[in-house]
Amino acid sequence: MADFGLLHDLFTPATSKIVLLVMDGLGGLPREVNGPTELEFANTPNLDRLASEGNLGLMTPVRAGIAPGSGPAHLALFGYDAVEYQIGRGVLESLGINFDLTPRDVAARGNFCTVDAEGSITDRRAGRIPTSKCIELVNKLRPITLPGIEVFVEPVQDYRFCLVLRGDGLNAHLDDTDPQRKAPPLPVTARVPEAQHTADLVNRWIAQAREILKNESPANALTLRGFAVDPGLPRFPDVYKLRSTCVAVYPMYKGVSKLVGMDIVQFEGGKPEDEFKAVADNWDKYDFFFVHIKYTDSRGEDGDFEAKAKVIEGVDAALPQLMTLKPDVLIVTGDHSTPSAMKGHSWHPLPVLLHAPGLTRRDECKAFGETEAIKGALGRFPATDLMQLALAYAKRLQKFGA
Amino acid sequence: MADFGLLHDLFTPATSKIVLLVMDGLGGLPREVNGPTELEFANTPNLDRLASEGNLGLMTPVRAGIAPGSGPAHLALFGYDAVEYQIGRGVLESLGINFDLTPRDVAARGNFCTVDAEGSITDRRAGRIPTSKCIELVNKLRPITLPGIEVFVEPVQDYRFCLVLRGDGLNAHLDDTDPQRKAPPLPVTARVPEAQHTADLVNRWIAQAREILKNESPANALTLRGFAVDPGLPRFPDVYKLRSTCVAVYPMYKGVSKLVGMDIVQFEGGKPEDEFKAVADNWDKYDFFFVHIKYTDSRGEDGDFEAKAKVIEGVDAALPQLMTLKPDVLIVTGDHSTPSAMKGHSWHPLPVLLHAPGLTRRDECKAFGETEAIKGALGRFPATDLMQLALAYAKRLQKFGA
């Protein structure tokens, strides 16, 4: 974990700019023994030039051997101990749609689903209904009220929505209602006695929602999971003294950024060049830009080696546009590995590229890749060290001690 | 230390097999500046092929600069903090001979020795009497009784035996009786007041034993050391959810395995091929095999560079037999370094070879050795990370967090 206390005493005024470019699930694996990974297979002349000028290293996301989800992986990148600070999916989803959570809120992620005549789930995603349908259904659920508390229902995307209860004494230690098999949705159960009142309220809400949805098709039921409260993380802009913003397309990543107190840039489009334009448009307003590229992870999850490489090539092609801004520190890495060979997240360490003109030593790395990174001057380090390094290379820290 | 709490939440059902092949004291030193180590000098075509296919790394056994004994070194390999969990020699020796220690037991390691007419020790190992003689002497000592407690005396090997006292309120904070010089054996002394009663009991036992042994030759006396209780370690098969067994020749290594709750395989012979056959014979019964090769350490302790290399070559020659089992994860390493140049344990990091088909990245290592390992994709890590990595490569852990 980053040493917030130590940093607090060391900040020095600076105007430097830091860009943290995260290609989700960047780390990969070869298709054949001793072959290249997706990143190594991709044609990336711009990243390779930056690698040759700057330094590479390898970064462990959360712990040795642990494959993190996106939430913990990003918390680690931001310098937080992801095992100490665990965040529920409900909170991430709510924050991702710009819902303003308060400390009195319990949030859950909802899925519209399809149940058969016996009430058993036949499609956990209700045929992936479009977002427009999701909005329509959410609007039908909004009128449901519960005694003594406020209730918010908000659409997210496709079949996904958020449920937020706001009131005093609510408790998020509740089990998911998704049975994870062909069976009816479960009632909410309290994991601790203090959560029984909240469980009762949620079950009353579910009963009313079921009545409203029963004649819909295909989304005639719902499940709730990831009940959570805002864990009250130290605020990123405060602990690092950086005016900080997130440039991302997917709600989840905006959510985790908002959770740590970053601003969220609104922009049009979803391509790397759109995201880099959003950085340029906001260049003077911020010191730190977290730029998130989603599709490296998506293509890795699909198991499509060449498509993942293509996403990386797309980022590389747009990179000169970002470099015209001349960031003082550019870091390019991922949040975790998503090797297409595994079609999922893995524990493998992440290649890190750090470009900070005039401040990096020579190493033997000539291209950006996992194998080259073994020789990198940054060596091997935990993800939670990354922000301290970023501050250092941005000359935002003074000497510690006399 | 491995994060048992975190792991607990992440296990996923799997049928994968892990083999941890430990060549005791594997790490070495060159005979001349920039020369090869014992491992690098040895002709090891099979290990070299596995190194080229898999990944190498370097592992710090307990702490930087600390040369561990076999007990702490193995605990670290198994993921336990060896500084937090310290085990006395008496416990290791008792467990090594399959003695069933209980929480009410205090165990000590005994040595038969030779004393002169003045009672001073002239041979700390009584001329290395054979085990048959040891058994005969132990049988003469068994009748000794002590008030209010049970007493067990058990032969180990050569001049070594175990003494175990069983009863309520016993305390193992006792000093060794070996004076470590030409002097009479010391009486047992209590390090804390609570241990005085136990010290008195042990001294009564010693007085009776001395009477029984005084006319024997050459083993006419004894010393006791390493008084200890079972430290109650978290059980390896539980914390890693692995049906686990130990394949070892020497009692000490069976002892430390039993201490953490592993099964012990009984088998004939003591060569690498005998041990690998024992693995094959038990392949279906277990998920995790700890295979221990003793003689790398013994030849290192002897200071015999070429003999240590020959032991490694013997393991390499038998390796194809092990590989026919196609373990999902094979790890080859040592517990600590025993450079023949030092004739003893050292603090130098250990080369680690990890072979897990389809899950390792390319690195530039072409052979198994300390120098090659510097370039390895596993980098440098503490021994206590090894089991987490083993579980990850065996696909026995699910993603942490959403």
Q: Would an 8 Å CB–CB cutoff place B231 in contact with chain A?
A: no
Under DSSP, the state recorded for B238 is H
Quote the CA–CA distance of B235 and B261 in Å, as a whole number. Answer: 5
Indicate if A107 and A199 belong to the same structural domain. Answer: yes
Query: Does the residue A132 lie in any domain?
Result: yes
Query: Does the residue A165 lie in any domain?
Result: yes
Tokens representing A194 are 């203090």
Residue A124: count other Cβ atoms within 10 Å of its Cβ.
17
pLDDT digits (tens, 9 = 90+) for B216-233: 999 999 999 999 999 889
How far is the alpha carbon of A285 from chain B, nearest alpha carbon, in Å? 31
Residue A288, helix vs strand vs coil: strand
Please say whether the beta carbons of B146 and B204 come within 8 A. yes
Question: In chain B, what residues touch A29 (CB-CB under 8 Å)?
Answer: 358-361
Quote the CA–CA distance of B374 and B340 in Å, as a whole number. Answer: 21
Q: Would an 8 Å CB–CB cutoff place B372 in contact with chain A?
A: no
DSSP string, A244-285: EEEE-SSHHHHHHHHHTT-EE---S--SHHHHHHHHHHTTTT
Q: How many secondary structure helices (H) and strands (E) does chain B include?
A: 14, 13
Angle (CA) B85 B86 B88, round 5°: 145
- Helical pair A70-77 and A251-259, crossing angle rounded to 10 deg: 50
Of B3, B375, B401, the CB nearest to A71: B401
Question: In chain B, what residues touch A67 (CB-CB under 8 Å)?
Answer: 392, 397-400
Q: How far is CA A140 from CA A146, A244, A277, in A?
A: 15, 37, 38
pLDDT digits (tens, 9 = 90+) for B234-247: 999 999 999 999 99
Contact check, Cβ <8 Å, A347/B3 = no
Question: What CATH number is attached to the domain comprising B329?
Answer: 3.40.720.10
Indicate if B164 and B256 belong to the same structural domain. Answer: no
Tokens representing B235 are 């059980």
Indicate if B290 and B365 belong to the same structural domain. Answer: yes
Strand order in the sheet with B244-247: B263-264, B244-247, B288-293, B18-23, B329-333, B350-355, B55-60, B379-382
Indicate if B220 and B357 belong to the same structural domain. Answer: no
Contact check, Cβ <8 Å, B397/A66 = yes
What is the structure's pLDDT at A313?
Answer: 98
- What was the ipTM of the complex prediction? 0.88
Indicate if A247 and A169 belong to the same structural domain. Answer: no
Query: Does the residue A399 lie in any domain?
Result: no
Contact check, Cβ <8 Å, B362/A69 = no
Q: How far is CA B49 from CA A33, A183, B59, B214, B355, in A?
A: 12, 50, 21, 58, 10
Indicate if A330 and A366 belong to the same structural domain. Answer: yes
What is the structure's pLDDT at B97?
Answer: 85
Residue B380, helix vs strand vs coil: strand
Query: Does the residue B402 lie in any domain?
Result: no
Question: In chain B, what residues touch A88 (CB-CB under 8 Å)?
Answer: 402
- Name the domain count of chain B: 2
Q: Would an 8 Å CB–CB cutoff place A245 in contact with chain B?
A: no
Query: Does the residue A348 lie in any domain?
Result: yes
Mean pLDDT (whole number) for B248-263: 91
Query: Does the residue B398 lie in any domain?
Result: no
Indicate if A192 and A247 belong to the same structural domain. Answer: no
Quote the CA–CA distance of B158 and B125 in Å, as a whole number. Answer: 9
Strand partners, B121: B115
Q: Is the pLDDT of residue B402 over 80?
A: no
Name the residue of chain A whose CA is nearest to B373's CA: A374
Contact check, Cβ <8 Å, A371/B362 = yes
Residue with tokens 């005639």: A220
Q: Would an 8 Å CB–CB cutoff place A366 in contact with chain B?
A: no
Phi, psi of B301 (to 5 degrees): -60, -35
Query: Does the residue A25 lie in any domain?
Result: yes
Of B6, B390, B402, the CB nearest to A66: B6
What is the structure's pLDDT at A251?
Answer: 83
Question: What CATH number is attached to the domain comprising B148?
Answer: 3.30.70
Tally the residues of chain A: 402
Going by C-alpha positions, the residue among A28, A49, A54 that lies closest to residue A390 is A54
Quote the CA–CA distance of A125 and B164 in Å, as a whole number. Answer: 64
Reported as half-sphere exposure (CB side, CA atoms, 13 A), residue A107 has a value of 25
Q: Would an 8 Å CB–CB cutoff place A31 in contact with chain B?
A: no
Indicate if A141 and A260 belong to the same structural domain. Answer: no
Please say whether the beta carbons of B54 and B364 come within 8 A. no
Most B CBs within 10 Å, among A1, A253, A301, A347, to test the B interface? A347
Q: Would an 8 Å CB–CB cutoff place A347 in contact with chain B?
A: yes
How far is the alpha carbon of A278 from chain B, nearest alpha carbon, in Å? 27
Name the residue of chain B whose CA is nearest to A37's CA: B361
Please say whether the beta carbons of A342 and A27 come within 8 A. no
Quote the CA–CA distance of A253 and A352 in Å, as a whole number. Answer: 20
pLDDT digits (tens, 9 = 90+) for B345-361: 999 999 999 999 999 99
Q: Is the pLDDT of residue B23 over 80?
A: yes
Q: Would an 8 Å CB–CB cutoff place A369 in contact with chain B?
A: no
pLDDT digits (tens, 9 = 90+) for B283-329: 999 999 999 999 999 999 999 999 999 999 999 999 999 999 999 99
Residue A16: count other Cβ atoms within 10 Å of its Cβ.
17
Of the residues B228, B260, B290, which one is the last residue of a structural domain? B228
Name the residue of chain B whose CA is nearest to A67's CA: B399
Q: Would an 8 Å CB–CB cutoff place A373 in contact with chain B?
A: no
Indicate if A190 and A55 belong to the same structural domain. Answer: no
Quote the CA–CA distance of A6 and A79 in Å, as a whole number. Answer: 13
Quote the CA–CA distance of B190 and A51 in Å, as a whole number. Answer: 63
Quote the CA–CA distance of B143 and B139 in Å, as a whole number. Answer: 8
Q: Is the pLDDT of residue B179 over 90?
A: yes
DSSP strands (E only) in A78-174: 105-115, 121-123, 150-157, 160-166
pLDDT digits (tens, 9 = 90+) for A358-370: 999 999 999 999 9
What is the structure's pLDDT at B252?
Answer: 84
Most A CBs within 10 Å, among B331, B359, B361, to test the A interface? B361
Of the residues B207, B228, B249, which one is the last residue of a structural domain? B228
Of B361, B376, B402, the CB nearest to A29: B361
Query: Does the residue A166 lie in any domain?
Result: yes
What is the structure's pLDDT at A98?
Answer: 80
Contact check, Cβ <8 Å, B381/A92 = no
Q: Would an 8 Å CB–CB cutoff place B11 in contact with chain A?
A: no
Residue B252, helix vs strand vs coil: helix
Of A35, A69, A374, the CB nearest to B402: A69
Of A67, A71, A72, the CB nearest to B397: A67
Question: In chain A, what residues touch B391 (CB-CB under 8 Å)?
Answer: 65
Residues 47-66 of B with CB under 8 A from A: 52-53
What average pLDDT is seen over chain B?
96
Going by C-alpha positions, the residue among B15, B62, B5 that lies closest to residue B240 is B5
Q: Would an 8 Å CB–CB cutoff place A1 in contact with chain B?
A: no
Phi, psi of B125 (to 5 degrees): -120, 15
Contact check, Cβ <8 Å, A66/B358 = no
Question: Residue ranges of chain A with pLDDT lower than 50?
Answer: none
Indicate if B16 and B158 belong to the same structural domain. Answer: no
Q: Would an 8 Å CB–CB cutoff place B362 in contact with chain A?
A: yes
Indicate if A252 and A359 belong to the same structural domain. Answer: yes
Indicate if A358 and A258 belong to the same structural domain. Answer: yes
Of the residues A228, A263, A292, which one is the last residue of a structural domain? A228
Strand order in the sheet with A379-382: A263-264, A244-247, A288-293, A18-23, A329-333, A350-355, A55-60, A379-382
Of A58, A64, A370, the CB nearest to B388: A64
Question: In chain B, what residues touch A92 (CB-CB under 8 Å)?
Answer: 402
Tokens representing B388 are 């987490």
B309 is in which domain, residue-wise?
A: 4-86+232-393
